[in-house]
Amino acid sequence: MSTYTQILYQVVFSTKYRRKTLTKPGREQLFRYIWGILQSRRCKLFRINCVEDHMHIVFALHQSVALAQLVQDIKVGSSLYIKRNKLFPQFTAWQTGYGAFTYAAGARKNLIRYVMNQEAHHARKNFKKEYIKLLREQQVEFEIERLFEEEGERDECESGRHIRTSLG
Protein backbone atom coordinates (compact mmCIF):
# COMPACT_ATOMS: atom_id res chain seq x y z
CA MET A 1 0.00 0.00 0.00
CA SER A 2 1.19 3.53 -0.79
CA THR A 3 1.01 6.60 1.42
CA TYR A 4 -1.25 9.48 0.42
CA THR A 5 -1.55 12.77 2.27
CA GLN A 6 -2.89 16.28 1.84
CA ILE A 7 -1.22 18.52 4.39
CA LEU A 8 -1.70 22.18 3.48
CA TYR A 9 0.21 24.58 5.72
CA GLN A 10 0.55 28.29 6.17
CA VAL A 11 3.76 29.09 8.02
CA VAL A 12 4.31 32.59 9.37
CA PHE A 13 7.44 34.01 10.96
CA SER A 14 8.83 37.45 11.69
CA THR A 15 12.12 39.25 11.47
CA LYS A 16 13.97 39.67 14.76
CA TYR A 17 12.04 42.17 16.88
CA ARG A 18 9.73 42.67 13.87
CA ARG A 19 12.23 45.08 12.34
CA LYS A 20 11.12 46.32 8.93
CA THR A 21 14.11 45.02 6.98
CA LEU A 22 12.61 42.96 4.12
CA THR A 23 12.61 45.66 1.45
CA LYS A 24 11.07 45.04 -1.97
CA PRO A 25 14.23 44.85 -4.10
CA GLY A 26 15.48 41.55 -2.58
CA ARG A 27 12.20 39.74 -2.03
CA GLU A 28 11.89 37.83 -5.31
CA GLN A 29 15.41 36.45 -4.93
CA LEU A 30 14.62 35.37 -1.35
CA PHE A 31 11.36 33.74 -2.49
CA ARG A 32 13.20 31.73 -5.17
CA TYR A 33 15.74 30.56 -2.59
CA ILE A 34 13.03 29.38 -0.18
CA TRP A 35 11.16 27.73 -3.05
CA GLY A 36 14.35 25.76 -3.78
CA ILE A 37 14.46 24.51 -0.19
CA LEU A 38 10.83 23.38 -0.41
CA GLN A 39 11.42 21.65 -3.77
CA SER A 40 14.46 19.82 -2.43
CA ARG A 41 12.24 18.43 0.38
CA ARG A 42 9.52 17.42 -2.12
CA CYS A 43 7.08 20.01 -0.76
CA LYS A 44 4.82 21.92 -3.15
CA LEU A 45 4.85 25.70 -2.85
CA PHE A 46 1.53 27.43 -3.53
CA ARG A 47 2.40 30.97 -2.46
CA ILE A 48 5.10 32.89 -0.65
CA ASN A 49 4.97 36.55 0.22
CA CYS A 50 6.22 38.98 2.80
CA VAL A 51 6.02 42.53 3.96
CA GLU A 52 8.85 44.41 5.65
CA ASP A 53 8.64 42.53 8.97
CA HIS A 54 7.31 39.01 8.35
CA MET A 55 6.86 36.16 5.90
CA HIS A 56 3.97 33.87 4.90
CA ILE A 57 4.53 30.56 3.10
CA VAL A 58 1.67 28.36 1.85
CA PHE A 59 2.73 24.86 0.84
CA ALA A 60 1.84 21.19 0.85
CA LEU A 61 4.07 19.26 3.25
CA HIS A 62 5.47 16.00 1.89
CA GLN A 63 4.66 13.05 4.16
CA SER A 64 8.35 12.24 4.70
CA VAL A 65 9.21 15.73 5.99
CA ALA A 66 9.07 16.90 9.60
CA LEU A 67 7.60 20.40 9.80
CA ALA A 68 9.91 21.64 12.57
CA GLN A 69 13.01 20.56 10.63
CA LEU A 70 11.73 22.12 7.41
CA VAL A 71 11.01 25.49 9.07
CA GLN A 72 14.41 25.42 10.76
CA ASP A 73 16.08 24.71 7.39
CA ILE A 74 14.14 27.57 5.77
CA LYS A 75 14.95 30.07 8.52
CA VAL A 76 18.62 29.14 8.95
CA GLY A 77 19.27 28.75 5.23
CA SER A 78 17.49 31.94 4.23
CA SER A 79 19.18 33.93 6.99
CA LEU A 80 22.60 32.84 5.74
CA TYR A 81 21.54 33.48 2.14
CA ILE A 82 20.30 36.99 2.95
CA LYS A 83 23.55 37.89 4.69
CA ARG A 84 25.87 36.26 2.13
CA ASN A 85 24.11 38.00 -0.78
CA LYS A 86 23.46 41.27 1.11
CA LEU A 87 19.78 41.18 0.10
CA PHE A 88 18.56 43.23 3.05
CA PRO A 89 21.39 45.25 4.65
CA GLN A 90 19.50 45.85 7.92
CA PHE A 91 18.40 42.20 8.38
CA THR A 92 19.98 40.50 11.41
CA ALA A 93 17.92 37.34 11.96
CA TRP A 94 14.50 35.76 12.06
CA GLN A 95 12.62 35.87 15.35
CA THR A 96 12.56 32.69 17.44
CA GLY A 97 9.60 30.44 16.72
CA TYR A 98 6.89 30.48 14.09
CA GLY A 99 3.21 29.86 13.54
CA ALA A 100 2.13 26.87 11.44
CA PHE A 101 -1.51 26.35 10.58
CA THR A 102 -3.15 23.54 8.63
CA TYR A 103 -6.05 24.04 6.25
CA ALA A 104 -8.50 21.90 4.32
CA ALA A 105 -7.74 21.61 0.59
CA GLY A 106 -10.87 23.63 -0.20
CA ALA A 107 -9.43 26.65 1.62
CA ARG A 108 -6.37 26.84 -0.65
CA LYS A 109 -7.64 29.49 -3.10
CA ASN A 110 -8.70 31.89 -0.35
CA LEU A 111 -5.47 31.27 1.55
CA ILE A 112 -3.37 32.01 -1.54
CA ARG A 113 -5.35 35.20 -2.15
CA TYR A 114 -4.86 36.24 1.48
CA VAL A 115 -1.08 35.76 1.24
CA MET A 116 -0.91 37.51 -2.15
CA ASN A 117 -2.60 40.60 -0.69
CA GLN A 118 -0.31 41.09 2.31
CA GLU A 119 0.70 44.63 1.44
CA ALA A 120 -2.87 45.87 1.20
CA HIS A 121 -3.80 43.89 4.30
CA HIS A 122 -0.98 45.45 6.33
CA ALA A 123 -1.93 48.95 5.33
CA ARG A 124 -4.78 48.38 7.82
CA LYS A 125 -3.41 45.89 10.36
CA ASN A 126 0.07 45.35 11.85
CA PHE A 127 1.77 41.98 12.22
CA LYS A 128 1.01 41.60 15.93
CA LYS A 129 -2.73 42.03 15.37
CA GLU A 130 -2.70 39.74 12.33
CA TYR A 131 -0.80 37.00 14.18
CA ILE A 132 -3.06 37.11 17.24
CA LYS A 133 -6.10 36.95 14.94
CA LEU A 134 -4.64 33.88 13.17
CA LEU A 135 -3.98 32.15 16.49
CA ARG A 136 -7.52 32.84 17.67
CA GLU A 137 -9.15 31.77 14.39
CA GLN A 138 -7.18 28.53 14.52
CA GLN A 139 -8.12 28.06 18.20
CA VAL A 140 -4.49 27.93 19.31
CA GLU A 141 -3.89 28.48 23.00
CA PHE A 142 -1.19 31.06 23.68
CA GLU A 143 0.17 33.40 26.30
CA ILE A 144 0.14 36.94 24.94
CA GLU A 145 3.14 37.90 27.09
CA ARG A 146 5.28 35.24 25.37
CA LEU A 147 4.26 35.83 21.75
CA PHE A 148 6.81 38.42 20.70
CA GLU A 149 10.44 39.02 21.53
CA GLU A 150 11.16 42.64 22.30
CA GLU A 151 14.44 44.46 21.94
CA GLY A 152 16.56 44.14 25.05
CA GLU A 153 15.08 40.77 26.05
CA ARG A 154 17.30 37.76 26.37
CA ASP A 155 16.81 35.21 23.59
CA GLU A 156 15.40 31.90 24.74
CA CYS A 157 15.02 28.76 22.66
CA GLU A 158 11.41 27.67 22.33
CA SER A 159 12.06 24.17 21.03
CA GLY A 160 8.94 22.09 21.14
CA ARG A 161 6.66 25.16 21.25
CA HIS A 162 5.69 25.03 17.60
CA ILE A 163 2.09 25.83 16.80
CA ARG A 164 0.07 23.41 14.75
CA THR A 165 -3.65 23.00 14.56
CA SER A 166 -6.20 21.77 12.10
CA LEU A 167 -9.16 23.57 10.55
CA GLY A 168 -11.93 21.23 9.58
Q: Please write the tens of the pLDDT for every residue from 10-66.
A: 999 999 999 999 999 999 999 999 999 999 999 999 999 999 999 999 999 999 999
**Residue 164 domain-assigned?**
no
Are 9 and 67 within 8 A, CB to CB?
Answer: yes
**Residue 159 domain-assigned?**
no
Residue 151, pLDDT score: 64
Query: Please, what is the average pLDDT of the chain?
Result: 88
Q: Please write the tens of the pLDDT for every residue from 147-168.
A: 887 765 544 433 334 443 333 3
**Residue 103 domain-assigned?**
yes
**Residue 155 domain-assigned?**
no
Question: How far apart are the C-alpha atoms of 29 and 107, rounded to whole Å?
Answer: 27
**Residue 154 domain-assigned?**
no
Structural domain that includes position 85? 8-146
**Residue 124 domain-assigned?**
yes
Answer with the residue of higher pLDDT: 145 or 77.
77
Choose the weakest-confidence range: 34-38, 80-84, 113-117, 164-168.
164-168
In CATH, what number is assigned to the domain containing residue 30? Answer: 3.30.70.1290
Count of structural domains within the chain: 1
**Residue 2 domain-assigned?**
no
pTM score, two decimals?
A: 0.84
**Residue 38 domain-assigned?**
yes
Average pLDDT for 109-121: 92
For 25-28, which contacts have Cβ atoms below 8 Å and span 24 or more sequence positions? 25/87, 26/82, 26/85, 26/87, 26/88
